[in-house]
Structure 1
Amino acid sequence: GHGPSTKPHLLVIVVGETVRAQNWGLSGYRRQTTPQLSSLDVINFTDVTACGSNTEVSVPCMFSATGRRNYDQQLIRGSESLLHVLERAGIRTLWRDNQTGCKGVCAGLAFESYREPRADPLCDDQACRDAVMLQGLHDAIDDNPGDVVVVLHQLGNHGPSYFKRYPPSLRRFVPDCRSPDLGKCSREEIVNAYDNAILETDDFLARTIRMLAQDRSHDTAMIYLSDHGESLGEGNLYLHGFPYAIAPETQIKVPMVVWISPGMRDNAGIDVRCVKRQAGNSLSHDNLFHSVLGLMQVRSSVYDPDLDVFSECIDSKIAP
């Protein structure tokens, strides 16, 4: 049975875009690129490897049961994603997208695109800031009385126009590259623009957590995981998408952050201090699928507790 609370669960999974671990403030980068997250009680995982060096590979892979361990793209495309498994367990899912779609992960399930610019202060004539995906989210969730998992797929740090990814208020590192032609900029200017764009993701994740912390009708949690990294001129490499076998660490080491509300901690029986002690363990995109099933208390034949980052930190006195 459940613990003290009978509130339904609300989990928000944020799929990051092109954010690499090396420039993540919470993980010890020389700059504070995550000032807002650093003031929140989050669990920051410092050694996470992406399944691919591009979105097309990583997104289907991170939502699959098989993942990178025995990587088979055809198998992944042909099998149920995490969202399909959740739906079968009676958990409603919603994918909100400020990117190029869900890559089959949400096939046949609820999907809303924010890719088209709209008349909104968060948008310009080409794109919207990721915070547009939070608009009306409460109404969408409150339509469902039970457990809900929402995916927010960010535009994030998508290059090469990093300068378009953040507002003037977050233009903290200057001079920043103001051109999509990176050849016109110095490495310092490119890194400054990229780091400013991470400040935008920090702002978006903090907004998401604040929204979840204020939710009185659900026990809430957030998992943030970037899809792949980026080369910023190391070894004269730029952008991403290099063949996985030779992709540099800059392209495949990614940040991962978890926030769990007090109600969810009690209900799922999660000892957060225990999880924090393990946050330096070597992890990968393969852990997402099983950690979400564990957190949402879904028992499925495909669930592997060894890949659930929470499984060793469940207080058996509280959990079922």
Structure 2
Amino acid sequence: MKTSQIAKSPVAIVNGGNFLSFSLFDRLPAISIERLSIFASLFFSLTCNHLFFSAALAQRDWSRPASWLFAAAIFVAITALQGTALLVVLNRWSAKPVLILLLMVTAAATYYMDKYTVFFNSEMVRNILRTDIKEASELFSLNFCIHMLVYGILPSLLVWKLRLKKTTLRRAALTRIAYVIGALVIAAGSILLVFQDFSSLMRNQKEVRFLITPSNYLFSLARVVSIDTAQAGVPKIPISADAHMAAGWGKRTKPALFILVVGETTRAANWGLNGYAHQTTPELSKLDVINFSHATSCGTNTEVSVPCMFSTYGRRNYDENAIRAHESLLHVIDHAGIKTVWRDNQAGCKGVCDGLEEQRLDSSKNAALCDGERCLDEILLEGMDGEIQKAKNGNLFVVLHQLGNHGPAYFKRYPAAMRVFTPTCDTSDLSKCSKEEIVNAYDNGVLYTDHFLAKTIAYLKNQTDYDTAMLYLSDHGESLGEHGIYLHGLPYSIAPKEQTQVPMVMWMSQGFSSSFGVNKDCMSKLANNPVSQDNLFHSILGMLQIESTHYDKGLDLSAGCRA
């Protein structure tokens, strides 16, 4: 091919290891940074915000001109405001790398927003930042790759090949200022046109702002980073450093062994002991357990629920900064002289065991329970005898943090023997499965949790030299397609009950019941009363008879059932 022919070709391969030369893009006129900012914002508004517009415009009467005016006004306002932000940060050197990064991250964000109805508030962003490679790998699929190609890679290639106009610094500054002022005037004017409707939307549906993309994850990321930076390296604020065992401890002849199982992503609706159609708790149903059938979580994701349930604040006085800054229930137990150990098969203790012993078992080499990537939850019981022997004063409080039903790869959360409910969804791409297959795979995971809890109780029964007890409480629930919602993590104020109602089960040996004066029959009568994760802190202290200035008798489920 002649040189002249190559020059006319839309795409030419250059020898010597150079990249493809997209002469089609080279023919495009050079574009100013200002126009590129506005076009990029327009692209985001048109392709990445249909969830926001669907929520903001729901149930409007489209026969009224006011509805069309409102839709147009908020579209223009969002485009202008996001364009203003881009005008501030983009220049000749930053424009391409910043826009490409935004395009790629926004493409990934919108995929999960569209697929699972994700709201990118600070809680969700923190969840993402704390997600390990194992969890992240389960979220990839062919559909994700196609989405990234269309909404991330191709637009990024276009941005990379664009020619940017060069101008003098003075002219660039004046032009930039004019564009910023113009964009702000347009945004303000658009909002003022529909101010009453707009203020009502922001006041009554505050969560919708976390659907405006990419502003949602950028704002939330900045908030998370600022909080984490402020708390980095700062020791936890002590609570109940004077906590101690009550006088009754001196009368006991056996040490105590208490296991708290923190479940993962198990919802009350699919819990067999709650009357669910599938018998997902056949082993627990044969044991002398107390099932609290109306338990609620503090949050809808692990990053919120775990720190919250171990704190003195709870959902009733929720304060993220204070919860993360202070010590937890485990520190109070440790202050009282009971050895505490966190054993983990998931993503860590989320700060509640800082300074205490934490054992990560999710990468164990037990071939019977681990596949090289993940381990089944029974790994949490491995080596327990050794932990008992190391306990100071013989007393031991152990937290077992399950992998549980962490989605969307439900089919990986149970062994083949637990594949009872069929057909199952055997892929992490839930869009390829029917509702029945998804639910069956999830229920098999619940069935395995039942087996794991029954095995834990059996282990405790064999510890005849100890007064033993177990409490199981899931961190949050899960949506399985109800109302088109999957997984978890919605803002608590709008989260469906499937994400906030969780199972809670208590078992105690006769020795524990007698030694600590906890009347099991009395506790059983509370089983149908509303309870929440707010009760955990105070109920544990009460049952273990640990005296603390932070103890609240009104939140102790056992307070009225102890001799």
TM alignment of 1:91-240, pairs within 5 A: 91-144=338-391, 145-240=393-488
Instruction: Please give the alpha-carbon distance, in whole angstroms, between the structure 2 residues aligned to 1:170 and 1:49.
Output: 27
Give the CA deviation at 1:123.
0.8
1:123-148 deviations in Å (ceiling 9; x for gaps)? 11220001111011011112123321
Q: Structure 1 residues 117 and 137 mapped into 2: Cα distance closer, same or farther (>3 Å)?
A: closer
- Segments of structure 1 that go 5 or more residues without pairing to the other structure are 316-320
1:144-202 deviations in Å (ceiling 9; x for gaps)? 23321100000000010000011111100000000100000000000000000001100
Map of 1:22 onto structure 2 = 269
1:77-125 deviations in Å (ceiling 9; x for gaps)? 1111000011111111000000100000000100000121524211112
Check conservation: 1:4, 1:266, Cα contact below 8 A: no
285, 289, 306: which one aligns with 1:38: 285
Check conservation: 2:369, 2:378, Cα contact below 8 A: yes
Instruction: Please give the alpha-carbon distance, in whole angstroms, between the structure 1 residues aligned to 2:428 and 2:364.
Output: 19
TM alignment of 1:274-293, pairs within 5 A: 274-293=522-541
What secondary structure sits across from 2:547 in the alignment? coil
Map of 1:310 onto structure 2 = 558
Instruction: Please give the alpha-carbon distance, in whole angstroms, between the structure 1 residues aligned to 2:370 and 2:416.
Output: 13
TM-score normalized by the length of structure 2: 0.55
Map of 1:48 onto structure 2 = 295
Letter of the 2:512 counterpart: M
Map of 2:493 onto structure 1 = 245
Map of 1:318 onto structure 2 = none
12, 16, 31: which one aligns with 2:259: 12
Give the CA deviation at 1:303.
0.5
Check conservation: 2:542, 2:559, Cα contact below 8 A: yes
Check conservation: 1:3, 1:267, Cα contact below 8 A: no
Give the CA deviation at 1:3.
8.7
Letter of the 2:280 counterpart: T
Letter of the 1:286 counterpart: D
Instruction: Please give the alpha-carbon distance, in whole angstroms, between the structure 1 residues aligned to 2:301 and 2:425.
Output: 23
Check conservation: 2:299, 2:476, Cα contact below 8 A: yes
1:47-69 deviations in Å (ceiling 9; x for gaps)? 11100000000000000011111
Map of 2:232 onto structure 1 = none
Check conservation: 2:539, 2:558, Cα contact below 8 A: yes
Instruction: Please give the alpha-carbon distance, in whole angstroms, between the structure 1 residues aligned to 2:254 and 2:350.
Output: 32
Letter of the 1:40 counterpart: L
Map of 2:53 onto structure 1 = none
Map of 1:57 onto structure 2 = 304
Give the CA deviation at 1:233.
0.5
Q: Whose Rg is larger?
A: 2
Check conservation: 2:388, 2:394, Cα contact below 8 A: no
Letter of the 1:75 counterpart: A
**How many residues end up aligned between the 2 structures?**
315
Instruction: Please give the alpha-carbon distance, in whole angstroms, between the structure 2 residues aligned to 1:172 and 1:252.
Output: 26
Taking only aligned residues, the RMSD between alpha carbons, in angstroms, comes to: 1.1
Higher strand share: 1
Check conservation: 2:292, 2:528, Cα contact below 8 A: yes
Name which structure has the greater RCO, CA cutoff 8 Å, separation 6+.
1
1:248-289 deviations in Å (ceiling 9; x for gaps)? 000010000000000000011111111111111111100111
Instruction: Please give the alpha-carbon distance, in whole angstroms, between the structure 1 residues aligned to 2:483 and 2:557.
Output: 34
335, 351, 371: which one aligns with 1:88: 335
Check conservation: 1:117, 1:124, Cα contact below 8 A: no
Q: Which runs of 4+ in 1 moved over 2 A?
A: 1-5
What secondary structure sits across from 1:306 in the alignment? helix
Instruction: Please give the alpha-carbon distance, in whole angstroms, between the structure 1 residues aligned to 2:464 and 2:251.
Output: 15
Instruction: Please give the alpha-carbon distance, in whole angstroms, between the structure 2 residues aligned to 1:272 and 1:242.
Output: 36
Instruction: Please give the alpha-carbon distance, in whole angstroms, between the structure 1 residues aligned to 2:451 and 2:513.
Output: 24
What secondary structure sits across from 2:397 in the alignment? strand
Map of 2:510 onto structure 1 = 262
Q: 1:77 and 2:318 equivalent?
A: no
- Segments of structure 2 that go 5 or more residues without pairing to the other structure are 1-247
Check conservation: 1:3, 1:268, Cα contact below 8 A: no
Instruction: Please give the alpha-carbon distance, in whole angstroms, between the structure 2 residues aligned to 1:204 and 1:181.
Output: 27
Instruction: Please give the alpha-carbon distance, in whole angstroms, between the structure 2 residues aligned to 1:276 and 1:257.
Output: 11
Higher helix share: 2
Letter of the 2:528 counterpart: G
Instruction: Please give the alpha-carbon distance, in whole angstroms, between the structure 1 residues aligned to 2:508 and 2:523.
Output: 11
What secondary structure sits across from 1:64 in the alignment? coil
Instruction: Please give the alpha-carbon distance, in whole angstroms, between the structure 1 residues aligned to 2:467 and 2:513.
Output: 9
Check conservation: 1:3, 1:266, Cα contact below 8 A: no
